[in-house]
Amino acid sequence: MDESVEITSELPVTETEAKPISLNRHLFNLAWPSLIENLLQTMLGFVDLVFVGQIGPDAIAGVGLGNQMMFLLQVLYMGLAVGNTALVARAVGAKDKPEAERIAKQAFVLVTSLSVGIGILGFFASVPIIRMTGATDEVTAIGGGFLQVVSTFSIVLGVMMIGGGTLRGSGDTRTPMVITGVINVINIVLDYVLIFGNFGFPRLGPVGSAVATTISRTIGASLILYVLFKRGSILKLQIRGGWGFHRNVIARILNVGGPSAAEQFIMQLGLLVFSVLAVNLGTNDLAAQQIAFNISMFSFLPAFAFGVAALTMVGQSLGAKDPVRAEQSAIQALKSGTLWMVLMGVGFFIWRNFLVGIYTNDPEVLRLGEMCMIFIAFAQPFQSVSIVLGQALRGAGDTRSTMVYTFIGVWIMRVAIGYVLGITFRLGLFGMWLGWISDFIVRAILVWMRFKAGKWKTLKV
């Protein structure tokens, strides 16, 4: 990281710190646990797909579609998590911990209520939802079974997202990292025994990965709740009080989280449509794209880590009435995130054959997957700008602008251009991925312009 910035922070990372720390150190203290946590979180999907990939392309495509549908269903969780994290960060920055606790509890109330509807929908409609993508009967059966399990018990995912966001908003990024590491180990073991029926366990096939993920998340949610209510070092929640519907707090969470939820819905629906376009090209194209998407999650890790740091520090700085520090924090996070992402892009380009080969030995899937990896390698700097500065804007509560930019990038650039080039002009997966990379280029430009305009510094949330 660039050590030339020597701005100091008056915002303590813990209750016991006696002196301010440098901006770089504060960013690093927040970012490195988030980086490891995101790596471990990504490993959950990576291990699932590697194990499932041993069954065949239909299993890869089915689990991939099931995951994308689950992402589409959980956008409300994501929106609430962003609203909760941003508001908790502001309250902690203003040294108003009772308000931070009230916000967190209301976020838990909202996510519990939403999980009931998502669970019912997932239990009864998973197979019809997958069938609507036009997938084959084999892919539909696999994807529907996977989606039914993870969506029915999605409350554990919601609790993890709200609980983890509460900890990060308060400045504690290490605890979510440790918990994610624990559930990662559990998930790998359960994948091995449930997918293939090892050690006397039932052979559940691709659905076994959904069962393993759900059990792991249940343990993770329980651990996060224990930390928040029993062991909290920065922000400890009280079990009693604050569980009724507080309209003013809910309105604030939705004011910030609502546009973020809409943004996630726009994005996930766009990603789903993009996958449906690949379905029309054939199972090999869809499998290659799902593999590339799974690998690309690793490329996002540095940007997500420094994005979390930027979101927390921007929120806390604005809560402390220090917009200058908020801007400097975001820029420094962008520099660090971009450096790491460019390095990862070089690695993806050089080792693309090896990386795709981890998932499959099918020659056509390998060829198509390697092509997608080249696009991913060259997109790294643009992804860094759109992710890190996008998180900084969300930390300030400026979620409406990021929602608009996501719509432009995903639907006008990725989906529309991808369809025209890939389907209409018959360029296949290559044409579709020209649309994919144009999405990140355009979003990076728009987010940068919004950030430099500076209106986010004066938003009321």
CA distance 396 to 264: 18
What mean pLDDT is predicted for residues 319-335? Answer: 93
| Contact call for residues 159 and 119 (beta carbons, < 8 A) | no
**Quick count: other Cβ atoms within 10 Å of Cβ 364?**
15
- List the beta strands (DSSP E) in 392-437: none
Flag whether pLDDT at 11 surpasses 50.
no
pLDDT digits (tens, 9 = 90+) for 115-141: 999 999 999 999 999 998 888 899 999
Q: Which residues of 99-123 are buried (b: 16+ CB within 10 A; e: fewer)?
A: bbbbbbbbbbbbbeebbeebbeebe
- List the beta strands (DSSP E) in 24-138: none
Burial of 161 (0-12, 13-18, 19+ CB in 10 A): buried
- The pLDDT of residue 10 is 38
Compute the Cα dihedral for 419, 422, 428, 433 and give only its sign.
negative
pLDDT digits (tens, 9 = 90+) for 204-261: 999 999 999 999 999 999 999 999 998 766 788 888 877 888 889 999 999 998 898 8
- The pLDDT of residue 459 is 87
Flag whether pLDDT at 433 surpasses 70.
yes
Compute CA distances 346 → 93, 334, 349, 381, whole Å.
Answer: 38, 18, 5, 11
- Which amino acid type is present at position 306? F
At 7, the pLDDT band (50, 70, 90 cuts) reads very low
| Contact call for residues 336 and 27 (beta carbons, < 8 A) | yes
Point out which residues pair with 22 in neighbouring strands. Answer: 8
Question: Cα-atom radius of gyration of the chain, to the nearest Å?
Answer: 21
| Contact call for residues 95 and 316 (beta carbons, < 8 A) | no
- Which amino acid type is present at position 172? D
What mean pLDDT is predicted for residues 445-460? Answer: 94
- The pLDDT of residue 232 is 65
Q: Which pTM value belongs to this model? A: 0.74
Q: What is the distance in angstroms between the CA of the first residue and the CA of the last residue of the chain?
A: 31
CA distance 281 to 222: 43
**Which carries the bigger pLDDT value, residue 410 or residue 230?**
410
| Contact call for residues 69 and 130 (beta carbons, < 8 A) | yes
Phi-psi region of 341 (alpha: psi -120 to 50; beta: other; left: phi over 0): alpha
Query: What number of helices (H) and strands (E) belong to the chain?
Result: 17, 0
Report the mean per-residue pLDDT for the chain: 88
Paired tokens of 149: 């399990």
| Contact call for residues 320 and 90 (beta carbons, < 8 A) | no
Of 37-41, 49-53, 206-210, the least confident: 37-41
- The pLDDT of residue 221 is 96
| Contact call for residues 216 and 150 (beta carbons, < 8 A) | no
Flag whether pLDDT at 18 surpasses 50.
no
Compute CA distances 62 → 144, 210, 329, whole Å.
Answer: 8, 12, 41
What mean pLDDT is predicted for residues 390-408? Answer: 94
Flag whether pLDDT at 75 surpasses 90.
no
Angle between helices 363-395 and 323-350 (to 10 degrees): 170
| Contact call for residues 311 and 85 (beta carbons, < 8 A) | yes
